[in-house]
Amino acid sequence: MSSLPSPALAYRLEAARAVVHDAARLAMSMRPPPGGPQGELKSAQDWLTETDGAVEAFIAQRMQALFPEDGFQGEEGGLTRTGSLRWVVDPIDGTSNYARGRCRWCVSLGLMDGDEPVAGVIDAPALGEVYTALRGYGAFLNGKPIKASPIKDPARSMIEMGWSGRVPKSVFMEKMDAIMELGTMPRSGGCGALALADVASGRLDGYIEIVINLWDVAAALPLLAEAGAVVSPFLRDGGLTGGATIMAANPHIGPVLAKAVSIPLE
């Protein structure tokens, strides 16, 4: 890792961390109490809350004021500004959890330099956790360095798979069965950005989602790269413009998992 990151990118990361912190506080203030979901369904189990729009608008306005030359893309508003550097936000990742007053959700803001993810902030305020990464300068959880897990034996590993109504049940069950055949402990937590962050921090040994979007992963991709995880070519295989498959894992489990679920790492 370089000890001297680009001043422009380092400044943007610090600014993004402050903006996302404030956005996360806004989300916490609007957080529904535990109970039945509060929001509306966009599609099967795909929730939208008032908070999604409020948080995205807050971040969009703050980043435009700070960096008017940068592009901006959000889950709710799409691509609203263009620039060689582009911010990509998921205002609430894990909305199904958020809408029920659960804790596993986050505000995710990534920075793209052209087609390359270079920095990211993932703030999970209900968990008291903030992930940050800058390409070439490390990945951190609450300011402490993180790295992918050292687990090598699939029978000792923990793998998460994201569920989506856009994926046929047969495909989901096929992949989940392959995971279980390895002897791993399967999980599904309802928040792709945090699952990828868990791979980066070593809390998970792998994560798979068959259809996921750029705003879900933009902040996590620098984390994974800096933490030494292996990742399937999500961006190359359609993730820049639409939903695509992602698999991230520690470098020991990655090849075994890739073979088992037929998701190549290259």
52 is in an annotated binding site: no
CA 45, 92, 210, 198 dihedral sign is negative
CA-based angle 228:234:238, to the nearest 5? Answer: 165
Report the alpha-carbon distance of residue 144 to residue 199 in Å, rounded: 16
Domains of the chain: which residue ranges? 7-145, 154-261
Q: Is the pLDDT of residue 213 over 80?
A: yes
pLDDT at residue 163 in the model: 87
**CA–CA distances in Å: residue 68 to residues 81, 82, 235:** 9, 10, 26
Q: Is the pLDDT of residue 41 over 70?
A: no
- Return the minimum-mean-pLDDT range out of 73-82, 130-139, 218-227: 73-82
93 is in an annotated binding site: yes
Is residue 66 within 8 Å of 13, Cβ to Cβ? Answer: no
- Return the minimum-mean-pLDDT range out of 43-47, 89-93, 138-142, 203-207: 43-47
115 is in an annotated binding site: no
Tokens representing 136 are 């070439």
Hey, what CATH class is 7-145 in?
Answer: alpha beta
CA 58, 61, 63, 65 dihedral sign is negative
198 is in an annotated binding site: no
Residue bearing the bigger pLDDT, 160 or 167:
160
Q: Is the pLDDT of residue 2 over 50?
A: no
Using a 10 angstrom Cβ sphere, with 0-12 exposed, 13-18 middle and 19 or more buried, the burial of residue 212 is buried
CB atoms within 10 A of CB 18: 13
The model's pTM is 0.93
Q: Is the pLDDT of residue 146 over 90?
A: yes
Q: What are the pLDDT digits (tens) for 83-136?
A: 999 999 999 999 989 988 999 999 999 999 999 999 999 999 999 999 999 999
Is residue 160 within 8 Å of 166, Cβ to Cβ? Answer: no
- For the chain, give the number of residues: 266
Q: Is the pLDDT of residue 165 over 90?
A: no
Q: Where are the alpha helices (DSSP H) in 167-253?
A: 169-181, 192-201, 214-217, 220-227
Average pLDDT on 207-212 reads: 97
**What residue has token string 């806004």?**
26
Is residue 196 within 8 Å of 223, Cβ to Cβ? Answer: yes
By DSSP bridging, strand 244-249 and strand 71-74 are unpaired
Report the alpha-carbon distance of residue 77 to residue 144 in Å, rounded: 33
pLDDT at residue 40 in the model: 61
E-strand stretches of 114-151: 116-124, 129-134, 139-141, 144-145
DSSP letter at 39 equals S
Average pLDDT on 225-236 reads: 98
pLDDT at residue 33 in the model: 83
Q: What are the pLDDT digits (tens) for 7-38?
A: 999 999 999 999 999 999 999 999 988 765 55
For the domain spanning 154-261, the CATH number is 3.40.190.80
pLDDT at residue 34 in the model: 79
Q: What are the pLDDT digits (tens) for 231-254?
A: 999 999 999 999 999 999 999 999
Q: Is the pLDDT of residue 44 over 50?
A: no
